[in-house]
Chains A and B, each alone.
Chain A
Amino acid sequence: MQRRKFIGKAALVSLASIIGADIVYGSKMVENYIPLALQDPDPFKLFNKDKEMVVLNDKPWNMEAQAHLLDDKITPNKFVFVRNNGLIPEDIDVKNWTLDFDGESVQQKKTYTLEELKSKFKHYTYQLTLECGGNGRSEFDPPAKGNQWTIGAVYCASWTGVRLRDVLEDVGIKDDAVYFGYHAADLHLSRDPSKEPISRGAPMAKAMQDETLLAFKMNGEDIPLAHGYPLRVIAGGWPASVSGKWLQRISIRNIVHDGTKMTGTAYRVPCKPVAPGAKVADEDMCIIESMPVKSLITYPKSGAIISKGKKLNIRGHAWAGELEVVKMEYSIDFGATWKVCKLDKPANRLAWQHFSAAIDFPKEGYYEVWAKATDANGVSQPMLLPGWNPKGYLNNACHRIAVKIA
């Protein structure tokens, strides 16, 4: 099994050093890329993640942060959640990596090498919030199917790349273009090469936004393997699954893209609200676009005990999909009263915003600090779970931490 494969590759390496022949690995190996099979099976080392990250699934790899790990303004890789639908590509030949454009609505098919993309188009860097559509799924009742994310499938990194719009203008797009869909190098769990683990996309209006990138750097460095090395789409504010990793091909469609996980219950919610546990027909499901308003208290970690008379400084981040967050509040009495937090403007559109507050507690005891963000349309986070949906998407209920005054 895994172990046998391991020994096989290990022997290959030794053998190669004896016969002096070039093998796929060794000195020819691309910088920053180590074949997965040769790596330490410890997922924290494998993906350079912090030990406090929580593994939800090891095949495919899915790992989330905890609220207090997301305290940085720009999330470092070690705290970035890992969400895979398939198997991470095993061989990445970055020197020969290409991106193809095809589909009904391209004027002609076109292929760019990675180098061409980097040299031909202007580079842009933005801080962009990516949240898994299923972040918060674990709270739904009846339970929703899939990885049971709690609160840690969100982050805001700094992404560098070229604008998808600039490249599309170079490719030439027909007037009937409706949607873009990506195709990537990851493998289906069944290893059936005719199946794509995931192939999603977004309407052309999202493709044409300034901040929608074909990115090759995260936080100033090559994108880590688990996050899409060497090239990925970044569509901030939308379910992170729109931001396809290991990008090889983009199809410009004259229909809504119908790739894997664009249909059925995947990344779709009932068009009209339904009762918890209801069965919803396929035709009554609508694709998730912008993510809802949400926030996270990243300091202190839940469970803080402070002495009476001391102020508690809290801080965190708030985001609202396509929109800006305009108000941030906290409550220490389960929503009976709310007080306003200091809220920063975003570094750029679609970046999460930082908030802080200094809290006085009236007397000793057990408290919960609840945080509530309000977006530019005046829509706030609910304190209870929002509408149930079959796959448990879009849980933006208020985050809270426990505090004791002793």
Chain B
Amino acid sequence: MKNPNHEKLRKDFGGVYKVVIIAFASIAVLSIGVIYLMTNPEFSFYENTDSDSETVAVPTEEDDFDKVENGIHVRTGFIEAPGMIETVQNCTNCHSAKLVMQNRMNKERWKSTIKWMQDTQNLWDLGENEDIIIDYLVTNYPPKKKGRREVLADIDWYELKD
């Protein structure tokens, strides 16, 4: 049994189908083009018309975010030890790991620093990670006694000619 309405519907559908297929094909072609551009950012129809090309560089290092070499987490410089991953995940989103490693504090002062970051800097609740992170920091980056003045260290001796 043929219903003329069905026939019409199928034709209409076919039309829509074609449009959809064409649209998808266009998107696919465009995407390939864009992907090509993304992987070849220096590609241009014009040769050297854009002075920006010299500032464009793509770092080649791999996205191996948690690679550890010689006991050091390559991406952040943190010492590999229990609690390192929690520290990386919670303490390097806003600021550099360098700021963490520079600061040598005891447990109490880290606690108050974390509270300050939560009160004023949009740091989230660390939950049970808080103690893990603090233990990691006080164990691996303990305060060093300096007294009222330290001895000059790491002197790079050289012959002065003038």
**Chain A residues engaging chain B, CB cutoff 8 angstroms:** 1, 3, 6-11, 13-18, 25-26, 29, 34, 38-41, 55-60, 139-143, 145-148, 188-190, 192, 195, 264, 300-306, 312-313, 368, 383-385, 397, 400, 402, 404
Contact A145 B146, beta carbon cutoff 8 Å: no
Shortest A101–chain B CB gap in Å is: 27
One digit per residue, 1 when the CB lies within 8 angstroms of any chain A CB and 0 when it does not, for chain B 92-115 equals 001110110011111001000100
Q: Does B23 contact A (CB under 8 A)?
A: no
Q: Does B52 contact A (CB under 8 A)?
A: yes
Contact B44 A57, beta carbon cutoff 8 Å: no
The stretch of B14-22, B54-62, B81-89, B127-135 in contact with A is B54-62
One digit per residue, 1 when the CB lies within 8 angstroms of any chain A CB and 0 when it does not, for chain B 145-162 equals 111111010011111101
Shortest B36–chain A CB gap in Å is: 9
Starting from the known contacts A11-B37, A141-B148, 10 additional A-B residue pairs (CB-CB under 8 Å) come to A6-B57, A7-B38, A14-B40, A15-B34, A17-B49, A39-B55, A40-B57, A56-B98, A303-B158, A305-B160
Q: Does B8 contact A (CB under 8 A)?
A: no
- By a CB distance below 8 angstroms, the chain A residues around B49 are 17
Contact B53 A143, beta carbon cutoff 8 Å: no
Residue of A nearest to B123 (CB): A190
- By a CB distance below 8 angstroms, the chain A residues around B55 are 34, 38-40
- By a CB distance below 8 angstroms, the chain A residues around B34 are 11, 15
Per a CB cutoff under 8 Å, which of B57, B95, B156 touches A59?
B95
Contact A303 B157, beta carbon cutoff 8 Å: yes
Q: Considering the chains assembled together, what is the distance between the CA atoms of A38 and B116 in angstroms? A: 34
Contact A57 B159, beta carbon cutoff 8 Å: no
* Number of residues of chain B lying within 8 A (CB) of chain A: 52
Contact B160 A6, beta carbon cutoff 8 Å: no
- By a CB distance below 8 angstroms, the chain B residues around A304 are 158, 160
Q: Considering the chains assembled together, what is the distance between the CA atoms of A8 and B41 in angstroms? A: 9
Shortest B58–chain A CB gap in Å is: 6
Contact B152 A57, beta carbon cutoff 8 Å: no
- By a CB distance below 8 angstroms, the chain B residues around A400 are 152
- Evaluate whether A26 and B52 lie within 8 angstroms (CB atoms) in the complex, with A143-B144, A368-B152 already known: yes
Contact B59 A6, beta carbon cutoff 8 Å: yes
List 27 A–B pairs whose Cβ atoms lie within 8 Å, in order of A's numbering. A3-B59, A3-B61, A9-B56, A10-B41, A10-B56, A13-B52, A14-B37, A14-B40, A15-B34, A26-B52, A40-B57, A57-B95, A139-B146, A145-B109, A146-B103, A147-B102, A148-B103, A188-B121, A189-B94, A189-B121, A195-B121, A302-B156, A303-B158, A305-B160, A306-B160, A397-B149, A402-B152
Contact A143 B103, beta carbon cutoff 8 Å: yes
Residue of B nearest to A304 (CB): B160
Instruction: How many A-B residue pairs have C-beta atoms within 8 angstroms? Tell me.
Output: 141
Contact A7 B58, beta carbon cutoff 8 Å: yes
- By a CB distance below 8 angstroms, the chain B residues around A190 are 94, 121-122
Contact B96 A57, beta carbon cutoff 8 Å: yes
Q: Considering the chains assembled together, what is the distance between the CA atoms of A146 and B98 in angstroms? A: 11
Per a CB cutoff under 8 Å, which of B58, B102, B113, B157 touches A10?
B58
Contact A14 B41, beta carbon cutoff 8 Å: yes
Shortest B113–chain A CB gap in Å is: 6
**Chain B residues engaging chain A, CB cutoff 8 angstroms:** 34, 37-38, 40-46, 49-50, 52-53, 55-59, 61, 63, 94-96, 98-99, 102-106, 109, 113, 116, 121-122, 143-150, 152, 155-160, 162
Shortest B50–chain A CB gap in Å is: 5
Q: Considering the chains assembled together, what is the distance between the CA atoms of A377 and B59 in angstroms? A: 55
Contact A147 B99, beta carbon cutoff 8 Å: yes
Contact A303 B59, beta carbon cutoff 8 Å: no
Residue of A nearest to B65 (CB): A1
Q: Considering the chains assembled together, what is the distance between the CA atoms of A305 and B41 in angstroms? A: 52
Q: Considering the chains assembled together, what is the distance between the CA atoms of A9 and B55 in angstroms? A: 11
Contact B122 A192, beta carbon cutoff 8 Å: yes
- By a CB distance below 8 angstroms, the chain B residues around A59 are 94-96, 99
Q: Considering the chains assembled together, what is the distance between the CA atoms of A22 and B122 in angstroms? A: 37
Interface centre among A55, A141, A385 (most CB of B within 10 A): A141
- By a CB distance below 8 angstroms, the chain A residues around B159 are 305
Contact A143 B59, beta carbon cutoff 8 Å: no
Shortest B106–chain A CB gap in Å is: 8
Shortest B60–chain A CB gap in Å is: 9
- By a CB distance below 8 angstroms, the chain B residues around A34 are 55
Shortest A152–chain B CB gap in Å is: 15
Residue of A nearest to B104 (CB): A143
Contact B58 A300, beta carbon cutoff 8 Å: no
Contact A57 B98, beta carbon cutoff 8 Å: yes
Shortest A368–chain B CB gap in Å is: 7
Per a CB cutoff under 8 Å, which of A8, A189, A404 touches B157?
A404
Shortest A377–chain B CB gap in Å is: 24
Contact A189 B95, beta carbon cutoff 8 Å: yes
Contact B102 A56, beta carbon cutoff 8 Å: yes
- By a CB distance below 8 angstroms, the chain A residues around B99 are 57, 59, 147
Q: Considering the chains assembled together, what is the distance between the CA atoms of A311 and B21 in angstroms? A: 87
The 8 closest A-B pairs by CB, nearest first: A10-B41, A304-B160, A141-B146, A59-B96, A190-B122, A189-B94, A384-B148, A10-B56
Contact A58 B96, beta carbon cutoff 8 Å: yes
